[in-house]
A and B are shown apart, each in its own frame.
Chain A
Amino acid sequence: MSATRAAARPGRATAVESTRPRRAVPTLLRHLAVAAGVALLVLMASYQLDSFRNFQLATVAAYLCATAGLTVLTGLCGQLSLGHGALMATGAYALALTQSAFAERGLIAGGWLIVSLVVAVLATVVVGAVVGVVAARLRGPYLAGLTLAVAVVVPALTVTFDGVFNGEQGLPVPVAPAPAGLGLYFPHERWQLWVAAAATLLCLVLLANLVRSRYGRSFRAVRDDEVAARLAGIHVARTQVIAFVVSAASAGLGGALLAVLAQRVSPGAFGLTLSLFLLMAVVIGGLGRLAGAVWGAFLLVALPDLTHSLTNLFTLSPAAAQRLEGNVPLAIFGGTLIVVMIAAPGGVQGLLSRLTGALRARWPVRRS
């Protein structure tokens, strides 16, 4: 049973990765170099793109935290979570409450945002630990059902305790404007992109290192065969809880960043649909690869934008346009999810790897 399960896992390429010979450059340095390169690219892009594209790119960064976290959990550790939308909500509401508390005491300088982000991540870690401890005992449909319940119930709690969370209206998120040192006419969206990209890059570097570390190898061992992992001295339950907590922390950071971008949190934004979107993003991007999470995050922002411009091509009544606009992306996401699972379980990144692998087999690169 476990052998067939392991063979069917979509992330087979990771096994190949781990047998690759060690490179001369240490992992941390390599990841930092990549991060610095990406930071430079984002910096240049932030000056080239207009405000709206800057904002969209910042949203991609926020989603990327959550999809990367989910990739670590589902792709590397083999645990499905449908509750990451709820974890994002936890981070977002924690940030909103902390920022409001700071604003009430007159602490509106930008530096306090870092404290709020840390508080948001810590709050999500606590929630993630509770869910993770339960989840570590569960398998397959039970785990999916529990996390689905979390995804449905947690947004509803904002109405139950509307004294704190203000029900359907949600809470405002007071955010300081860009520092005055950047000039009077510095666009706010560019500042938002800088904040989101910095936080996301930090998160990604940490995750990438974790994936390459002893913990990452334990995650993959647990995913591929629990019995073998246990025999190799890995504490299976503890490993799964750690994966869940790490993943929850990333999702919390993503939610908090979304709250900073929207400057408002409301339960409608964090419903079951968001959780399913995140799952879809990592599946379509490619389970088991952090690069897949990047594809997924881009899709989450690009596809609604694309359908918006598509519906604009047709002349529709306002009511029909409104119906289509909200639902066409959902239908495309759902349809794509089904087709990808049936036709290409490796996702976009899996297809790319297969493509480059095929090319390499045909035209072997000569290495001196």
Chain B
Amino acid sequence: MDRFLFLTLDGLSRGAVYAAFALALVLIWRAGRIVNFAQGAMAVAAAYVAYSVTAATGSYWLGFGAALLAGLLLGAVVDIAVMRLVDHRSPLNPVIVALGLVLLIQAVLGMVYGNEYLPAQTPFSRSALTVGGTAVLSPYDLFVFATVGVVGAALVWIFTRTAIGLRMRAAAFAPEVSRLLGVNVGGMLTLGWALASGVGALAGMLVIPTELGLHPHAMDLVFVSAFTAAVIGGLDSPPGAVVGGLGVGLLLSYVSGYAGGDLIPLAVLALLMTVLLVRPGGLFAPVTARRV
């Protein structure tokens, strides 16, 4: 029972990160109907910026802030310099371009930092606190919950309570009408990319220390897990992404706790295949018929 409790809490902490990363995917999907396959590589790039800043200044928090800033900037740059120029009529094109970005970003990181695992710092201890003899959460897990909670609340506030959030939703919902009404649709799209990439960078900062460390390919499997989470929730639904993220985190924690950590990749693939076969639209999407 103790073990079950520990695995559940550990899974929720892992799931919170997947939820944040899935949220980033959902944000871009809602803004521009693109699944950003370069999200993982962009998050790793931000994490490397944090590594450099932390190494130069000795402060984790300066590095953390730099990563968020780098994430926001990278998202805006990717939209303005690349995605805007792509012909979006074929759904294949943005996907292929995003994969080109993956290759490019990973190669540049490998050139600058080398293809070895670098140690990633945590601001708080990762050893679990014990309550009444039972190992429960570590301070770092609490930090993860708090950060993801704050980011989620901030996103909800931006999109539902501010004028800029309203404009962003309008630009995504009806671009032509919004443009007629004076909304800067392109600018809103860039802002969406920046926000999503910032959230992705945050998720990367949170998850990389709990895995093997900093590496150009560090987020490959995390991306697949988060994509699975986003699909479970339905790519359109932010609450769905959060629920999907927590669910995937729990499942992977149970698999690695009871069956062995080696099986995690297989579990992710099996879960993704099952979801796509049973409910391709996700648990939270209304059922729609596909025209064939």
Query: Is residue B280 within 8 Å, beta carbon to beta carbon, of the partner chain?
Result: yes
Q: Are B90 and A5 in contact (CB under 8 A)?
A: yes
Which A residue's beta carbon lies closest to that of B97? Answer: A341
Instruction: Return chain A residues, CB-CB under 8 Å to B92.
Output: 74, 78, 80, 140
Q: Are B107's CB and A327's CB within 8 A?
A: yes
A149 cross-chain contacts in B, Cβ below 8 A: 224, 227-228, 268-269, 272
Contact A331 B107 (CB under 8 A): yes
Using CB atoms, name the residue of chain B closest to A339.
Answer: B100
Q: How far is the CA of A345 from the CA of B60 in the complex (A)?
A: 44
- Interchain CB contact under 8 A, A160 and B103: no
**Cβ contacts A1-14/B at 8 Å (1 or 0 each):** 01011011110000
A327's contact among B85, B108, B217, by CB below 8 Å, is which? B108
A226 touches B292 (CB 8 A): yes
Contact B99 A157 (CB under 8 A): no
CB contact between A342 and one of B29, B97, B292 (< 8 Å): that residue:
B97
Q: Output the nearest chain A residue to B225 by Cβ-Cβ distance.
A: A149
- Name the segment of B64-72, B110-118, B146-154, B242-250 touching the other chain: B110-118
- Inter-chain contact A9/B90, CB cutoff 8 Å: yes
**A342–B89 CB distance below 8 A:** no
Task: Find out whether the CB atom of B107 lies under 8 angstroms from the CB atom of A139.
Answer: no
Tell me whether B110 and A152 are in contact (CB under 8 A).
no
B80-132 at interface with A (beta carbon < 8 Å): 82, 85-87, 89-93, 95-97, 99-108, 110-111, 114-115
**Residues of the A chain whose Cβ atoms lie less than 8 Å from the Cβ of B29:** 141
Say yes or no for A63: interface residue by CB 8 A criterion. no
A342 to B263, CA, bound (A): 39
Contact at A334–B273, with CB atoms within 8 Å? no
Q: Across the interface, which residues of B come within 8 angstroms of A145, CB to CB?
A: 35, 37, 224, 227, 231, 272
* B residues in contact with A78, CB < 8 Å: 92
Name A106-159 residues within 8 Å CB distance of B: 134, 137-142, 144-146, 148-150, 152-153, 156-157, 159
Q: A5-B89, A148-B224, A272-B217 are in contact. Are A153 and B107 (CB under 8 A)?
A: no
Q: What's the Cα separation between A145 and B224 when bound, in Å? A: 7
The answer on a CB contact under 8 Å between B96 and A227 is no
Known contacts: A149-B269, A331-B107. The answer to whether A137 contacts B277 by CB under 8 A is yes
Cα distance, A140 to B231, chains bound together (Å): 13
Asked if A273 is an interface residue, CB under 8 A from chain B, the answer is yes
A141→B107 contact, CB < 8 A: no
Contact of A341 among B34, B93, B220, B224 (CB under 8 A): B93
Residue of A nearest to B221 (CB): A152
Closest chain A residue to B228, Cβ basis: A149
Measured between alpha carbons, how far is A5 from B221 in the docked complex, in Å? 31
How would you classify the secondary structure of chain B's contact residues: helix, strand, loop or mixed? helix
Given A7-B89, A142-B231, A145-B272, answer yes or no on A276-B115 (Cβ-Cβ < 8 Å): no
- Cβ of B266 < 8 Å from any Cβ of A? yes
Residue in contact with A10 in the complex, picked from B90, B97, B108, CB distance below 8 Å: B90
B174 to chain A, nearest CB (A): 16
In the docked arrangement, what's the CA distance between A149 and B223, Å? 9
User: In the bound complex, do residue B100 and residue A330 qualify as a contact, i.e. CB atoms below 8 Å apart?
Assistant: no
What is the interface of chain A mostly: helix, strand, loop, or mixed? Answer: helix
Q: Which of A8, A227, A331, A335 contacts B89 (CB 8 A)?
A: A8
| Interfacial residues of chain A within 187-215, with CB under 8 A of chain B in the complex | none
Q: How far is the CB of B250 from chain A (nearest CB, A)?
A: 19
In the bound complex, CA of A226 to CA of B291 (Å): 8
- Which residues of B have CB within 8 Å of A4? 89
- Known contacts: A144-B37, A331-B103. The answer to whether A338 contacts B110 by CB under 8 A is no
Q: Which residue of A lies closest to B110 (CB)?
A: A327
Q: Which residues of B contact A144 (CB under 8 A)?
A: 35, 37, 95
Could you tell me the distance in whole angstroms from the C-beta of B101 to the nearest C-beta in chain A? 7
CB-based nearest B residue for A336: B100
Say whether A230 faces chain B, with CB atoms less than 8 Å apart: yes
Expressed in whole angstroms, the Cα–Cα distance for A146 and B230 within the complex equals: 12
**B262 interfacial contact with A, CB 8 Å:** yes
Given contacts A148-B227, A152-B221, A152-B224, contact A337 B103 (CB under 8 A): yes
B115 and A338 form a contact (CB under 8 A): no
Which residues of chain A come closer than 8 Å to B100, judged between CB atoms? 280, 333-338, 341
Query: With A5-B89, A149-B224, A341-B93 in contact, is A331–B280 under 8 Å at CB?
Result: no
The answer to whether B104 touches A334 (Cβ under 8 A) is yes
Flag whether B276 is at the interface (Cβ < 8 A).
yes
A303 at the interface (CB under 8 A from B): no
Q: Quick one: CB contact mask for A272-292 with B, threshold 8 Å, 1 for yes?
A: 110010011001000000000
Q: B89, B99, B108, B272: which contacts A82 (Cβ < 8 A)?
A: B99
A236 interface residue (CB < 8 Å to B):
yes
A240 to B101, CA, bound (A): 28
**Known A146-B272, A323-B114; contact A153-B277, beta-carbon cutoff 8 A:** no
Q: Does chain B have a CB within 8 A of A35? A: no
Task: Judge if B58 is at the interface, Cβ distance under 8 Å.
Answer: no
A145 to B230, CA, bound (A): 11
The complex places the Cα of A230 from the Cα of B96 at a distance, in Å, of 27
Contact of A276 among B85, B99, B276, B280 (CB under 8 A): B99
Q: Does B235 contact A (CB under 8 A)?
A: yes
Nearest-CB residue, chain A, relative to B95:
A144
CB pair A280–B103 under 8 Å, yes or no, is yes
State the CA gap A7–B87 with chains docked (Å). Answer: 12
Residues of B within 8 Å of A150, CB to CB, are 269
A326 at interface (Cβ–Cβ under 8 A)?
Answer: yes
A32 CB-CB contact with B under 8 Å: no
Q: How far is the CA of A334 from the CA of B89 in the complex (A)?
A: 22
**Can you report 14 residue pairs joining A to B where beta carbons are below 8 Å apart?**
A142-B276, A144-B35, A145-B227, A236-B292, A271-B217, A280-B100, A280-B103, A327-B111, A327-B115, A328-B107, A331-B107, A334-B101, A337-B96, A342-B86
Since A148-B224, A153-B265, A334-B102 are in contact, a sample of 7 more A-B pairs with Cβ atoms closer than 8 Å, ordered by chain A residue number, is A5-B89, A145-B272, A152-B224, A276-B103, A330-B104, A334-B106, A342-B97
Pairs of residues from A and B, 7 with the lowest C-beta to C-beta distance, nearest first: A334-B103, A334-B104, A337-B100, A8-B89, A330-B107, A331-B107, A141-B35
